[in-house]
Chains A and B, each alone.
Chain A
């Protein structure tokens, strides 16, 4: 039986645009509560106003920048630390088995429960957001890397050993590369959780950022700002996911990620 034909990119894009237009039409002209959901005709002018900075609020560009920066810095720091500690702990079985229940307990704590503690430690502001983002990313990356390093393919380890590779060669050429694959595979989840963590931290204790804008909008009863914040976060999330997917595709054939399968297209 022939497999169903894949729709063209143009067809899919056209359907997506039609959906967006339909939603906008419903939102503008449909029977919804304007006090809760506002209207596109009110939201779009508000974007322009927020961009300049109104009512004592920082400009929208700065709000977006702060959220994105905190997410990225936390992502970079958390990934690096998670990678290094994951690879290191894989080598020390006794320490790993000893720490296992404590790590599991720490991982089970809802990330957002850390915000009050982090606020006490680092105060209100940018550092708390970065630490929150970094902590979330660290836990995601660390456990993935640890698992990949512990379960590095035995055949590859044997192959390196048979070629005369030492312990450090096996570490460099097998365990670390296996772990890099784990980092890249975990990035979409890590980014999504990091963004949530940053926004939550901002909503509680920051002067700037999309989370702070949302909290401020909720307090002042300003649905336009809430929707604008949500839309901005959605767009940021899409961009970040697209970047990580691009990274995954770039490394797929080297790290056997996603659809990369042995044998490629050659007969």
Chain B
């Protein structure tokens, strides 16, 4: 299928400097979720955040997205500082369902465009049609989310995110609730779409295999309060096939390295 013309530059650099996040409890105490995170993600890079539940990776993702304000430090997307609300460069795919059940698939995918006043823009409409086509949702554009399978709803949510042409994609365990085969299909679909426009991607997962399959680098977080334990480079070639890449010896080596960093934190044995 022909590549769609885009008006937005590919990816944006993300600079996280001295970010901390803590919460005040009802009893007046403080819970530290994140402690002094310094990280730079290059433009167009695909980075995975892995770590145990509660380590703060989603908190950091929300801080990058502008949905949560850090207690200290700063986050820049390109030249712009993130300050309490989502920047227009951001696309976010949540773990939970965010498709509006009372709108059709097409309406949901066009929602971000309508918020930007582009509902009737010809190029924007073409982009929606293209996304629905390659997502295999063109035949169900008039259906409601309750009439779709879980995999189809995730693809629709992905289209809604991509329709606004973000230069940064933030994804919080987007495929976690799906079965193995559907998840693999969506991973491949994501890689194929991403290879077209090379946005900067931050992908949160607790699945180490998924992290190695998708990412250029894996950022490993400790238990709460979350800090960066290690960063593992993934030396697998691009473009990737999610099935074939698992047969490569580099895949296994990278998985072992990631596991080793985490197992030290939790005193676990070898995988």
Interface residues of A (CB under 8 A from B): 155-156, 158-166, 169, 173-174, 177, 180-181, 253-256, 260-267
Q: B140 → chain A, closest Cβ, in Å?
A: 9
With A161-B86, A162-B86, A163-B164 already in contact, the answer to whether A155 and B98 are too (CB < 8 A) is yes
**In this assembly, does B147 line the interface, its C-beta being within 8 Å of a C-beta of chain A?**
yes
> Apart from A156-B98, A164-B88, A253-B147, what are 5 other A-B pairs with CB-CB below 8 Å?
A162-B67, A162-B98, A253-B144, A264-B148, A266-B149
A267 to B152, CA, bound (A): 10
The segment from B109-117, B229-237, B240-248 that touches chain A is B109-117
- Decide: B149 and A177 in contact? CB cutoff 8 A: no
Instruction: Point out the residue from A156, A164, A254, A266 that lies within 8 Å of B115, measured CB to CB.
Output: A164
Chain B 149-160 interface 0/1 with A at a Cβ cutoff of 8 Å (1 = within) = 110110000001
- Decide: B86 and A262 in contact? CB cutoff 8 A: no
Q: A48 → chain B, closest Cβ, in Å?
A: 48
A-B contact number at CB 8 A: 85
Determine the chain A residues whose CB is within 8 A of the CB of B150 once the complex forms.
Answer: 262-263
Q: B75 → chain A, closest Cβ, in Å?
A: 15
Number of chain B residues whose Cβ lies closer than 8 Å to a Cβ of chain A? 33
**In this assembly, does B194 line the interface, its C-beta being within 8 Å of a C-beta of chain A?**
no
Determine the chain B residues whose CB is within 8 A of the CB of A165 once the complex forms.
Answer: 111, 115
Q: B99 → chain A, closest Cβ, in Å?
A: 8
A169 to B86, CA, bound (A): 15
Determine the chain A residues whose CB is within 8 A of the CB of B101 once the complex forms.
Answer: 254-256
Q: B175 → chain A, closest Cβ, in Å?
A: 16
A47 to B173, CA, bound (A): 67
- Decide: A263 and B90 in contact? CB cutoff 8 A: no
Instruction: Point out the residue from B97, B100, B160 that lies within 8 Å of A174, measured CB to CB.
Output: B100
A255 to B147, CA, bound (A): 12
**In this assembly, does B94 line the interface, its C-beta being within 8 Å of a C-beta of chain A?**
yes
- Decide: B98 and A158 in contact? CB cutoff 8 A: yes
**In this assembly, does B19 line the interface, its C-beta being within 8 Å of a C-beta of chain A?**
no
Chain B residue at minimum C-beta to C-beta distance from A261: B146
**In this assembly, does B65 line the interface, its C-beta being within 8 Å of a C-beta of chain A?**
yes
**In this assembly, does B96 line the interface, its C-beta being within 8 Å of a C-beta of chain A?**
yes
Determine the chain B residues whose CB is within 8 A of the CB of A253 once the complex forms.
Answer: 144, 146-147
A155 to B96, CA, bound (A): 6
- Decide: B100 and A164 in contact? CB cutoff 8 A: no
A179 to B94, CA, bound (A): 23
- Decide: B97 and A263 in contact? CB cutoff 8 A: no
Determine the chain A residues whose CB is within 8 A of the CB of B98 once the complex forms.
Answer: 155-156, 158-160, 162
A212 to B102, CA, bound (A): 43
Determine the chain A residues whose CB is within 8 A of the CB of B203 once the complex forms.
Answer: none
Chain A residue at minimum C-beta to C-beta distance from B149: A266
What are 19 A-B contacts defined by CB distance under 8 Å? A155-B96, A158-B92, A160-B111, A161-B86, A162-B92, A162-B98, A163-B164, A164-B112, A174-B100, A177-B102, A254-B102, A254-B146, A262-B145, A262-B153, A264-B146, A264-B147, A264-B149, A265-B147, A266-B149
Determine the chain A residues whose CB is within 8 A of the CB of B94 once the complex forms.
Answer: 155, 158-159, 162
With A162-B86, A266-B152 already in contact, the answer to whether A169 and B146 are too (CB < 8 A) is no
Q: Which 6 pairs across A and B sit closest by C-beta, in order of nearness?
A: A159-B98, A163-B112, A162-B92, A155-B96, A264-B147, A266-B149
With A164-B115, A173-B100 already in contact, the answer to whether A158 and B145 are too (CB < 8 A) is no
Q: A150 → chain B, closest Cβ, in Å?
A: 18
Determine the chain A residues whose CB is within 8 A of the CB of B90 once the complex forms.
Answer: 162
- Decide: A163 and B148 in contact? CB cutoff 8 A: no
A149 to B115, CA, bound (A): 21
With A155-B98, A159-B98 already in contact, the answer to whether A164 and B86 are too (CB < 8 A) is yes
Chain B residue at minimum C-beta to C-beta distance from A265: B147
Chain B stretch 129-181: residues in CB contact (< 8 A) with chain A: 144-150, 152-153, 160-161, 164
A163 to B102, CA, bound (A): 17
With A155-B94, A254-B101 already in contact, the answer to whether A164 and B164 are too (CB < 8 A) is yes
- Decide: B149 and A158 in contact? CB cutoff 8 A: no
- Decide: B111 and A267 in contact? CB cutoff 8 A: no
Chain B 51-87 interface 0/1 with A at a Cβ cutoff of 8 Å (1 = within) = 0000000000000010100000000000000000110
- Decide: B67 and A161 in contact? CB cutoff 8 A: yes
A173 to B67, CA, bound (A): 19
Determine the chain A residues whose CB is within 8 A of the CB of B102 once the complex forms.
Answer: 177, 180-181, 254-255
- Decide: B115 and A263 in contact? CB cutoff 8 A: no
- Decide: A266 and B92 in contact? CB cutoff 8 A: no
Determine the chain B residues whose CB is within 8 A of the CB of A160 once the complex forms.
Answer: 98, 100, 111
A254 to B102, CA, bound (A): 4
A166 to B115, CA, bound (A): 8
Chain B residue at minimum C-beta to C-beta distance from A251: B102
Instruction: Point out the residue from B67, B116, B152, B160 that lies within 8 Å of A158, measured CB to CB.
Output: B67
